[in-house]
Amino acid sequence: MRGPLVLAPLGGGTAPVIKKEHGLLRKDNLVTMDIKTKELCLLKLLKHILEPTMYKNIWELPREGVLQKNLDKYLKKNLLKKFLHPFKKGMPPRGEVFLPPHELHIQQAVKGFKILFFPKKFHVFLKTPWWLKEPIHRGMFLYALPPRVFHKKNCRGITLPGPYENYPYFFVESHVIKKGFLMKKTKGAPDPLIMDYYGIQGTHKNLVLIDWRKGLPRTLSEDDRISYFTEDIDLNTYMHYLHMSYPFWMTDDMYSVNKERRGEIMSYAYMQLLARLKLERLTHEMCDIKSMMWNEPLKTGYWPKIRLHTGDEMPVRSNNMILVTKDNLKLKQMLDDVESMLREGILTGKIERRDGTIITLKNSEDIENLARLVLGGMGLVGDDAKFLHMMHLMKKLLTYNVYNLDKNTYVPTALDMYSTCLRDPVFWRLMKRVTDTFTLFKKMLPKYTRDDLDFPGVKVDRVTTDKLVTFMDEYDLDITNALYLDDGELKKKRSDMITVARMRRLNHQPFKISVDITSEKTVDAVVRIFIGPKYDCMGRLLSVNDKRLDMVEIDTFMYKMETGKNTIVRNSVEMHGVIEQRPWTRRLLNNMVDTVGMISKTVDVESWWYKTRVGFPHRLLLPLGRLGGMPLQLFVIVTPVRNNPMLPLVDMSIMKERKTCRWSVCFDTLPLGFPFDRKIDMSHFLTHNMMFTDVIVYRKDLSNAIKDVDRSDMVMKKDDLTFLDTDMLVHRSHKDVMLMSKDDMLRM
């Protein structure tokens, strides 16, 4: 019989000891346990998510009738009853892949989310996922849990693992996981020549490191030149958690989120991602991407190199694919109707719904309505028409499942999953088409006047930065959750072998931006810092209007101006909305439980938000740059704190409480992207409270630093044929193969 989980507080703290009592955790301890103890329970729950529950004795609850007997412990009892009906009839097969665009899957996942969202007490919530994990689809469970943690105050302080640790299959190429299975099958002792060829290192008897970039390069188009950016695990996590934080199915009335600028945040996030991609393309002298066109073959193919846990390969899309066929013609017509309705609504200023209500698209604040129409969250036909939004229809048009015969399952493409869609070059073209709709809306608004732009009495005197230097570094990703446990490992509740994939990723040296400002008065201000191109892909100087949509907002913050000279220094790691590397789950567990098995209850709430919520990867603030330097421009604008009286529903305190403060939404109610969101009248644009300054981004050439070093034991070799191989030649010793100690590994 598998032993129970016994938890205790760390370092002699006052948190309660949670003991086994007849196979259960006592209810009074559940009520009084500290937040880190609760976090540990969820971390154990997510460990080896595809496996049978290793800690099933924790919640020895009856499988049948558990919800019926406890309906009084949940709000909105009728929602639980709606969940029980499909649960009794049968859920999607648990072993298949969960698909957010699959209507049946998402409907049942949302019902599962409601079970997690509406318990009256936290200890009831903590019991619920342990019961829910076993009977429902594991992917559905992984989908429903993060939004609950994100949107409930009583979960503040809980750090969830990165999705690439929970389910590495969507983030790690199939050949890496295949080598992991090979090493586990052979217990770390295969042919040494094979290990060398595949870049496998066995540095310890229970640790295997697999070099991700070893092997032959496989490409289909020039877009693969920037795959280090589009396939970055943290960038794809950012996209995944954007959806988790602002899911289109989270209705205003049921979840009380109607006072947040959720639609505008998502639309601006798409536009910022496109602007950031533009900088990376400029690094390689690639011109801007084109909006998606349906009447011509899609020249750009994509090879995901992803194999799912089911053994199915994520489909490859060949070059020159014909998009519209007799099989998806009806879907294309529906998309045309939706796009036509949106354009007509933008031009006329309103859309009339079937129930007679009017959706206005006339004023600046109506971007919220448009974004929900385009990306989801507002029914086009009725309140339940959640799948008739523009982005979903475009992605569905490109799927390969027109011949699918099973209503519950199909093999997903990269476009289908929020955690993989950025990998596919065509998704960026879809985003371009979507953002063209928002651009059309902004064109119908009046240009900003000088009064809109100016801040009387405030002058930006100078903007300076440190030298901006980028490089390719290494990161070790724990993929042990992808490798199934044998019976002995299940009994020990841990894998005998830790498997790590080593990848190369874009990074930059920390830098500071200094802004000197003269103010004639003491006043609160909002400071916005952008970085953008100076020249286009052909070396031509860009005007402000040419590049306004390509400006990346890297920092926004409030600052109290003092009378006289003010010097603001912003460190890159402290910029608003960025996130450093998420900690390893293995390390979180090590830090929480020491040798006497006790729990630390110290919580840094702000740090927790960035670790567990939406944050743009700090590493990707700067594009790769060039060896000789890549010219860019910084733009700084200082504005007064403005609250738009036309937005009575916006409640900044609510957004602060939910930690949804993306960009400037919790500072003022100016449109996101201000002042570049509308076409600029240059006759009165440049005011004293703003400034452009030239900067240069250098790419560090590591090959120069190791010219006289023996390269025989380098991780990367010249025959890898990767275009970044000079940056990837990093000397590694077996002692620093991982960031954790041998004792740390043995403890797990």
d(CA 664, CA 653): 13
Looking at the structure, give the CATH architecture of the domain made up of residues 10-157.
Up-down Bundle (1.20)
Residue range(s) of every CATH 2.60.40.1520 domain in the chain: 450-467+509-577+619-699
CB atoms within 10 A of CB 203: 18
Distance CA 166, CA 481 (A): 6
Instruction: Report how far Cα 142 is from the mean position of its chain's Cα atoms.
Output: 14
The Cα–Cα gap between 93 and 116 comes to: 21
Instruction: Sort strands 200-204 and 24-25 into parallel, antiparallel or unpaired.
Output: unpaired
Contact 643/668 with Cβ under 8 angstroms?
Answer: yes
Per-residue pLDDT at 327: 82
Q: Find tokens 């900067």 and name the residue.
A: 695
Q: Quick one: which of 11, 28, 281 has its CA closest to 19?
A: 28
Model pTM above 0.95: no
Question: C-alpha 195: how far from its chain's center?
Answer: 33
Position 436 scores a pLDDT of 94
Which residues are CB-contacts of 71 (< 8 A; sequence separation ≥ 6)? 77, 80, 81
Would you say 744 and 590 are in contact if contact means Cβ atoms under 8 Å apart? yes
Q: What is the pLDDT of residue 44?
A: 80
Strands (E), 245-365: 350-352, 358-360
Question: What six digits make up the tokens of 576?
Answer: 């608003």
Sign of the C-alpha dihedral, residues 316, 320, 326, 331?
positive
Q: Which of 149, 154, 73 is nearest to 118 (CA)?
A: 73
| Pairwise CA distance, residues 186 & 497, whole Å | 11
Encoded amino acid at 731, one letter: H
Written as six digits, the tokens of 720 are 């890898």
Under CATH, which number does the domain 450-467+509-577+619-699 receive? 2.60.40.1520
Report residue 56 as tokens: 């099933």
The residues with which 630 forms a beta bridge, in sequence order, are 697
CATH number of 222-443: 1.10.1280.10
The separation between CA 256 and the C-alpha centre of its own chain, rounded to angstroms, equals 23
Handedness of CA 730, 735, 740, 746 (dihedral sign): positive
User: Which positions of the chain have pLDDT values less than 70?
Assistant: 1-33, 55-69, 79, 82-92, 134-135, 188-190, 203-205, 215-218, 257-259, 379-387, 400-409, 588-613, 644-660, 702-748
3-state secondary structure of 85: helix
Portions of the chain given CATH number 1.20.1370.10: 10-157
